[in-house]
Structure 1
């Protein structure tokens, strides 16, 4: 019954793949439950620069957030969903969008292995901002020249 309205005009497997299943399932929930779901398990997370980055929900693991390291400067707390009950795994990326570090403990990363990451990345990406104290640094989406 819930899928029937979305099957109009569908005649083959290729068209079946185009059915918006998330929309179909959400339409079954009351508006208040949809709002609660959006609040507790958001599709996007707002990072310190203001960018809204899509969260990845994976089977049997915590949600993950792939984000450039410069956009997380100044963030000390542990981002979480489900009213703070489920921590988000932060996938810190280089300016070229390559993984640098995966962590749930940003404060530990900033105080620990960031120094080594900074040394390597500063030589590879000299146009980008690599502060000595990332906890007090302004987050950015830009290179140093445009800051």
Structure 2
């Protein structure tokens, strides 16, 4: 396996899917545009619940990224799990095993993000099978 790190920024658009009753889960369609070491787009779905009174909630996302990662064409999926407990955040975003296609077949890794002044910054720590992209 070859270990690499990719960084950059992305924009995100969330579109509500219906109007849930008070206290119900929210559902969104999402689309993203990435720049930096990954150039491409993503589409996915988000399901979440949040209580503003306690500043607590959770969300899950499955999204598919399509584009070029440090010169390699292909796609892969990410699975998100985000929790907030009284404002304390815990976020895990992982490449879905077996989801890589094209030159990204066999990709594995973790995605992290940091929002600074409204800008979504990402870091993708990933590996590809030996012999890929060398």
Taking structure 1 as the reference length, the TM-score comes to 0.29
Higher relative contact order (CA 8 A, sep 6+): 2
Structure possessing the higher radius of gyration over alpha carbons: 1
Taking structure 2 as the reference length, the TM-score comes to 0.30
Structure with the larger helix share = 1
